[in-house]
Chains A and B, each alone.
Chain A
Amino acid sequence: MSWEPVIGLEIHIHLKTRTKMFCRCEVTYSEPENSRTCPVCLAHPGSLPVPNEKAIEWTVKLGLALECRIAEHAVFHRKNYFYPDNPKGYQISQYDEPLCVEGRLLVPGEGGDTEVGIVRAHLEEDAAKNVHLGTAEGRISGASATLVDFNRAGTPLVEIVTQPDLRSAEDARRFLQLLRQTVVELGISDAEMEKGSLRFDVNVSVRPEGSDELRTRTELKNLNSFAFAARAIEREVERQVGIYESGGEVEQETLHFDPGKESAPPLRSKEEAQDYRYFPEPDLVPIEPPAELVERARAELPELPGARIRRLAADLDHATAADLVTSGRDSLYERVPGDRRSVANVLMNQFAASGADPAAVDPDELGKLIEARSSIPRDRFTEALAKSGDAGFSAEAYLGDGLVADTSELEPIVDRILEANPGQVESYRGGKEGLLGFFVGQVMRETQGKADPKVVNELLREKLTSSS
């Protein structure tokens, strides 16, 4: 029997508003512990939440980008539970009346778009950060004490829940990448996993291919990169398939990964049916986004990354188009003239590695450079790319020093190399033609990359075959 993975995601994104969700403390990732706190985010008696209007506006924007219906009447609820990082004893979140519902994100791919349904996108506040002392990994088990840093408490957080519409780890990775790029381009979050401004959990189950049942799922938590998530999903799918094929049953549980150690097996815990005693937050009035605000936000939506991938893929393949868009280099790509595939390749490889600022690059100069790259020595080309973002950069300086193509200059070098490697010459002549690359490499090293590879190839072939 062949098995089909059924994958759903729950993504949390910090909004990069200047201040917190319900108080006007600065949102920070770097300030000293507990230096950005006030009676509201420390839950002092009598303090009351005042919603961050920007956060509401941005969530509406995100909802529109995800083709959601924006609720005319949305409600904040209290989610009640005790934990030291939850200062009020409840988190202000949304429950049955979220701000954005019933959307979708179309993820472009070779075989057409994959439609991923968005169940909801709602606004809530992040918890504080518990710091466990006395253990090397900062984990709770074995800790001698726990300190709480409330700087993060109250950071605006958008939770996005997808339908279980994803069918492979690779789909999940592409979806996450596209979603991330979308929020970054909307300017509402920097969505950096290392910073914790983007986090996600994955629900995984499997079913016989072609069936539409939903079997018991497990939840994967603390995944710290898209690539790691993809690997973890693959492993979990294999594990579940293995269980079913040996006649077992998958148990509903949560797999907690250790962000510090990817190779460590995840800790497993039974999913407890926790009762959060949700009820409407009486300290806040319902959110009723004015229609004109919603329409203005809709009109202001830029061309979204999904659409751009689709457009770019007409000249390239989907993977390259997606790479360009999700790396944020597509706008430069579109401005640089020249062969589309060459430009894309250089931008995604050598240019990406060069450290040049894409926004500062003169696209025409870069275009000239890329067009002439076969006649520029490799290290010179690398150097040119690194400087391509400098003010006043001109490709001209690099086009002049072309490769050495003069056979009278190259021939003695080629002869010297052949003489120095009689064994390899014999092998080549005995049929190991793959050794040609070896000789080319030797010549290139001798000439510090300045030899024209085409001429070197010709010379070598000629000498290796003629004198036999």
Chain B
Amino acid sequence: MIDTLRLTAEEASGLIERGEASAAELHAAYLDAIGERDGELHAYLRTVDESEGGGVPIAFKDLISTKGVETTAASKILAGYVPVFDSTVAARCREAGLPLIGKTNMDEFAMGSSTENSAFGPTRNPWDPERVPGGSSGGSAAAVAGGLAPWALGSDTGGSVKQPASLCGIVGLRPTYGTVSRYGIVAFASSLDQIGPMTKTVRDNALLYRIVAGRDPYDTTTVDLPQPVELPEGEDLKGVRVGVPAELNEAEGIEPGVKEAVDRTIDLCRELGAEVGETTLPRSVEYGLACYYLVAPAEASSNLARYDGVRYGLRVDGANVREMYERTRDAGFGDEPKRRIMLGAYALSAGYYDAYYGQAQKVRTVISHEHAAAFESFDVLVSPTSPTVAFKLGEKAENPLAMYLSDVLTIPSNMAGLPGLSIPCGLSEGLPVGFQLIGPQFSENLLFRVGHALETAIGFDFVPERLT
């Protein structure tokens, strides 16, 4: 009997190695679990019946192109679109023998923080089905937390891996920009999008990162990893300098329960031998969100222009080409993509470019420098991942600005292209709290080391109580 709720990917790999379970048996066990629980959670948009490969099965966020398997980015405009090619991450997982369980739900085109913006209905949080799993990689997070996948891939633009990982009590890595190929990833904001592993443990996370990371000739923004990915072993934090940026830890809107769990974890860092000190990122936090909401929609407005009804996906005919475009895009896009296309087109318009997009890019440089300065004194920076625990479905759906604030703590380091790891650090009101670790570029090994030591010391039980 395979306990999919508790089984980590590393353990699953052990079962396969020892001949105690085959990849196909594991795949079938997850399909069974999906049959049992996904009616309620709706983590998946579709599953794959055939088990291909001899490794640990995996789930992909539905913006990861999979050859022969429909890929929609949870948008009606791509309903029925079946890629003729594998994204590089899908190809690498295939080469590593990981059978695909299915494609997970998400906010349409990764635009959102609750997965409520999916054109195919929301995903629910395994810890409390009345609540959202976070987003936009909410389907992947709920799948892993709900025992519907041993591990999964998500994508993170402004916090779309870290925040849902936090809200679902799992581990999520947003890698250094340029370490994981974007080839075949339905683009939202090209200068920010990164694929990241979503797992039950830090070691699982490192294992999956090892599979997908590394330069890809099909994505010229990728680079070789400066050092190989190491599986974390150590359980202390001796010699690690932990910086606590005041603005990220005292931001308005951080729930007391979240603050408490994070403060306890900071204390734990000290107990494990780390040097802990205060630091500041004043401009990164003050301007990060505003800057993000110029850059990301601007790039999105251009990236989403290809959905025009001409070559694939939805087409609603019209009297002429212009009318066909308008009808197709009106029917195909949900409110949030439309909102961001308009914001972005405006920010790029002649006469506004310098004041908006141009200025935002300058601020981005300032944010990078500010982080670099903090890393002169510290090895990692820590904060809550999300200011709140999982919120109720519908609670923020009508208020885009409140929803945008869900990412206020993850966005600044994303704007600087830096890696961030979210690990669960406890519960607040019975719901998981995420602890965000930010490192300099290419510091994933350090983040894994610190994350693993903390995870071991915290002893968080990643199985939602209601499912045990």
Contacts and interface: CB of A to CB of B under 8 A. Distances in A.
Interface string A60-88: 00000000000000000010101110011
Interface stretch (B132-140, B255-263, B349-357): B349-357
B466 interface: no
A50 B218 contact: yes
Given A282-B191, A283-B190, A45 B299 contact: no
Interface stretch (A36-44, A106-114, A421-429, A447-455): A36-44
A47 B353 contact: no
A87 B305 CA distance: 9
A44 B348 contact: no
A279 B185 contact: no
Interface string B294-322: 00001101101110101110000000010
Contacts, number: 103
A372 B190 CA distance: 72
B306 A87 contact: yes
Interface in B80-120: 81, 83-85, 87
Contacts of A84: 308, 310, 321
B457 interface: no
Contact of B84 (A39, A83, A278, A285): A39
Given A46-B186, A279-B302, A87 B311 contact: yes
B73 A45 contact: yes
Given A48-B182, A285-B220, A277 B345 contact: yes
A46 B184 contact: yes
User: Which one of A51, A275, A279 has the greatest number of beta carbons of chain B within 10 Å?
Assistant: A279
B453 to A, nearest CB: 36
Interface string A108-148: 00000000000000000000000000000000000000101
A89 B345 CA distance: 13
B217 A50 contact: yes
Interface string B314-351: 00000001000100000000000000000001001110
Contacts of B350: 275, 277
Nearest to B182: A48
Contacts of A275: 349-350
A187 to B, nearest CB: 26
Nearest to B217: A50
B85 A87 contact: no
A44 B85 contact: yes
Interface string B56-89: 0000000101000001010000100101110100
Nearest to B83: A44
A50 B222 CA distance: 12
B183 interface: yes
Given A82-B325, A84-B310, A279-B353, A47 B81 contact: no
A410 B187 CA distance: 88
A90 interface: yes
A84 B320 CA distance: 12
B219 interface: yes
Is chain B's binding surface mostly helix, strand, loop or mixed?
loop
Contacts of A83: 321
B223 to A, nearest CB: 10
Contacts of A43: 306, 311
A47 B302 contact: no
B221 interface: yes
Given A45-B81, A46-B87, A48-B220, A80 B65 contact: no
Given A45-B186, A46-B65, A277 B84 contact: no
A48 B85 contact: no
Given A48-B220, A275-B350, A90 B305 contact: yes
Contacts of A42: 311
User: Which one of A51, A88, A89, A148 has the greatest number of beta carbons of chain B within 10 Å?
Assistant: A89
A46 B305 contact: no
Contacts of B301: 80, 277
A284 interface: yes
Nearest to B322: A82
User: Which one of A45, A89, A278, A283 has the greatest number of beta carbons of chain B within 10 Å?
Assistant: A45
A278 B354 CA distance: 11
A43 B349 CA distance: 23
A284 B308 CA distance: 23
Nearest to A274: B350
B301 to A, nearest CB: 8
B85 A89 contact: no
A146 B183 CA distance: 31
A284 B310 CA distance: 25
B311 A146 contact: no
Nearest to A130: B321
User: Which one of A43, A275, A277 has the greatest number of beta carbons of chain B within 10 Å?
Assistant: A277
A45 B357 contact: no
A277 B349 contact: yes
Contact of A46 (B183, B221, B310): B183
Interface in B177-236: 182-187, 189-191, 217-221
Given A148-B310, A277-B348, A277-B349, A44 B302 contact: no
Nearest to B312: A44
B185 A46 contact: yes
Contacts of B81: 45
Contacts of B299: 279, 282
Nearest to B191: A282
Contacts of B85: 39, 44, 47
A283 B192 CA distance: 10
A275 B348 CA distance: 9
A88 B305 contact: yes
A46 B302 contact: no
A46 B350 CA distance: 27
A51 B221 CA distance: 12
A14 to B, nearest CB: 23
Contact of A48 (B71, B83, B84, B218): B218
User: Which one of B84, B87, B310, B321 has the greatest number of beta carbons of chain A within 10 Å?
Assistant: B310
A88 to B, nearest CB: 5
A47 B186 contact: no
Nearest to B309: A84
A179 B310 CA distance: 37
Contacts of B302: 78, 80, 89-90, 277, 279
A83 B182 CA distance: 26
Contacts of B219: 48, 283
User: Which one of A42, A47, A48, A49 has the greatest number of beta carbons of chain B within 10 Å?
Assistant: A48
Contact of B306 (A49, A88, A279, A282): A88
Contacts of B312: 44
A175 to B, nearest CB: 31
Interface in B402-417: none
Contacts of A82: 305, 308, 325
A55 B221 CA distance: 19
B368 to A, nearest CB: 15
Nearest to A49: B220
Contact of B357 (A87, A279, A285): A279
B182 A46 contact: yes
Nearest to A37: B311
Given A50-B218, A277-B353, A278-B348, 9 more contacts: A45-B306, A48-B183, A48-B218, A50-B217, A89-B306, A275-B349, A279-B357, A282-B190, A283-B182
8 contacts: A45-B83, A48-B218, A48-B219, A277-B353, A282-B190, A283-B182, A285-B220, A285-B221
Which 4 A-B pairs rank lowest in CB-CB distance, beginning with the nearest? A89-B305, A277-B348, A282-B190, A282-B191
Interface of B: 63, 65, 71, 73, 78, 81, 83-85, 87, 182-187, 189-191, 217-221, 298-299, 301-302, 304-306, 308, 310-312, 321, 325, 345, 348-350, 353, 357
